[in-house]
């Protein structure tokens, strides 16, 4: 996996399909991205959870293209693809066969029920201990072979959880890995893997049994030439622990800490995180999900363990997003405060910074200089606004940050100074060969934060004040060329 800026996108929402996305990246984003994480393109890509509820995880939805199109996309670009570990669609052939035949189905052992996890029954304490990303218990009543069962559904009733200890589920996951390796995918993302193992008497979230499954899947993936990125929203110390065991882990703490510094001018929590975070991270400010809150808060399974932000600071970040977006994020999040929506706040990152171009570029400069592989979400790459029309039409909060771009909208966005500057900054990050060297993070001379890289005679440094957007970037390629800019918007760096 090359250390260059990656794009995260849906094929249908940027380019229309896989061939369209490939053409767009090569024709209009040349040099901007060294890789692309294509969000689920399996059958169907437009199900109950925007592709994260696959009926057939080994088939490309023909409306988007084919496995050959995936291979073509990877010609010159690193590709990242999701492996949805926790569940399959309730409309998958396997689930439908169990619904029809019950215990006589060869797939009956592939899925979890209340009884299969708690064969001796569950107490109130057992159920209350289960860590949940959504309100309510993780069970949906279903009729399997004429028998009423309580089926384990962590996220929605349309997503039926797998029993990863079963032979059927293991063979199913191996078939997915084989399909992705055959398509020359560079890295897989283990989606929602933190919830994938249910152990009686525990939180059923990031337990020792979960880590064992991550280790097993990582081994299977590496045997097929696939690197592994683990996707878990959780307490920050777990992210550090996960980072020691896998190729890559997301830095989900970065976005809320950036916003905290931007809203308050206090960069202390961000500086603290920079000193302890895993450096084998994929850095993000935005993704297809919302802006994570749980990642900087207290441990949800042991609330006496403090987070990177105090509860009052965390509340202020949430309210700051709502204020910056004119209340749009409050409408999309579904809950009014962080004490309920501990998982995320839904908004584009550009709108969360009140559409302030200089603060937005300062945040991106910080992201691109932070150790790790930077990923930029497609809406963020185009400095996109909250899509209130899509939110209104679907009623799905996350759709506020999942706009469907036409080619004309892309072309118009690429003419905006903030987008042109961001593309130039990404090209700089991809071109200057210094970001595999030695990195030092320190307080800025007048507040803010400074990040300096050195590799031999090559150097690059950035100092940002996220509250004001003031940024200074200097660089030298070690061969006589150097540069300095104090305004990324009008004078972005060029190597």
Query: Residues with catalytic annotation?
Result: 191, 231
State which H helix or E strand residue 373 sits in: strand 373-377
State phi, psi for 25 to the nearest 5 degrees.
Answer: -65, -40
CA 126 to chain centre: 30
**DSSP-derived 3-state class of residue 41:** coil
Strand order in the sheet with 438-443: 438-443, 449-455, 458-464, 471-476, 482-485
**Measured CA distances, 109 to 28, 90, 114, 422 (Å):** 48, 15, 13, 49
Closest to 401 measured CA to CA, from 452, 463, 342, 331: 331
| Rounded (to 5) percent helix, strand, coil in the chain | 35, 20, 45
Closest to 180 measured CA to CA, from 67, 93, 94: 67
d(CA 422, CA 429): 10
d(CA 267, CA 247): 29
d(CA 349, CA 76): 29
The β-bridge relationship of strands 471-476 and 373-377 is: unpaired
Q: Are 173 and 85 in contact (CB under 8 A)?
A: yes
Non-local (6+) Cβ contacts of 138 within 8 A are: 130, 132, 152, 153, 154, 161
d(CA 218, CA 24): 32
- Strand segments, DSSP code E, in 444-481 are 449-455, 458-464, 471-476
Tokens found for residue 404? 């469907």
Known binding positions: 49, 87, 189-191, 231, 288-289, 341-344, 398
């Amino acid at each position: 996996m090359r250390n260059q800026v990656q794009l995260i996108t849906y094929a249908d929402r940027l380019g229309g399909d896989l061939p369209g996305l490939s053409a767009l990246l090569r024709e209009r984003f040349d040099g901007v991205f060294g890789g692309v994480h294509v969000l689920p393109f399996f059958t169907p890509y437009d199900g109950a959870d925007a592709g994260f509820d696959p009926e057939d995880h080994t088939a490309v939805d023909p409306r988007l293209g084919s496995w050959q199109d995936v291979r073509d996309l990877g010609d010159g670009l690193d590709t990242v693809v999701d492996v949805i570990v926790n569940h399959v669609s309730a409309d998958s052939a396997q689930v439908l066969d169990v619904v029809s035949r019950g215990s006589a189905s060869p797939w009956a052992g592939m899925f979890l029920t209340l009884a299969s996890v708690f064969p001796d029954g569950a107490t109130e304490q057992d159920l209350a201990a289960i860590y949940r990303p959504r309100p309510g218990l993780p069970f949906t009543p279903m009729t399997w072979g004429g028998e009423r069962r309580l089926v384990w559904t962590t996220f929605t009733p349309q997503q039926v959880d797998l029993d990863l200890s079963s032979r059927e589920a293991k063979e199913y996951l191996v078939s997915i890995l084989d399909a992705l390796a055959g398509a020359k995918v560079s890295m897989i993302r283990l989606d929602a893997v933190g919830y994938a193992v249910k152990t009686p008497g525990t939180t059923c979230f990031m337990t020792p049994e979960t880590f064992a499954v991550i280790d097993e899947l990582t081994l299977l993936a590496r045997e097929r030439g696939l690197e592994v990125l683990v996707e878990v929203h959780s307490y920050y110390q777990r992210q550090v622990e996960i980072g020691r065991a896998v190729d890559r882990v997301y830095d989900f703490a970065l976005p809320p800490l950036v916003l905290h510094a931007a809203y308050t001018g206090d960069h202390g929590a961000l500086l603290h995180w920079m000193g302890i975070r895993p450096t084998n991270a994929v850095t993000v400010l935005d993704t297809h999900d919302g802006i994570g809150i749980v990642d900087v808060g207290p441990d949800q399974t042991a609330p006496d363990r403090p987070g990177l932000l105090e509860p009052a600071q965390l509340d202020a970040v949430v309210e700051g997003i709502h204020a910056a977006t004119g209340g749009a994020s409050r409408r999309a999040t579904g809950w009014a405060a962080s004490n309920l929506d501990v998982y995320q706040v839904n908004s584009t990152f550009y709108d969360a910074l009140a559409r302030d171009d200089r603060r937005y570029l300062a945040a991106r400069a910080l992201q691109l200089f932070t150790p790790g592989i930077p990923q930029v979400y497609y809406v963020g790459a185009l400095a996109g606004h909250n899509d209130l029309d899509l939110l209104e039409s679907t009623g799905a909060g996350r759709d506020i940050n999942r706009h469907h771009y036409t080619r004309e909208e892309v072309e118009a966005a690429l003419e905006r100074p903030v987008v042109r500057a961001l593309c130039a900054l990404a090209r700089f990050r991809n071109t200057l060969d210094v970001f595999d060297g030695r990195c030092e993070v320190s307080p800025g001379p007048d507040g803010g934060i400074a990040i300096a890289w050195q590799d031999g005679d090559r150097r690059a440094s950035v100092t940002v004040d996220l509250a004001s957007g003031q940024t200074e970037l200097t660089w030298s390629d070690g061969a006589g060329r150097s540069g300095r800019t104090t305004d990324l918007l009008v004078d972005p760096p060029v190597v």
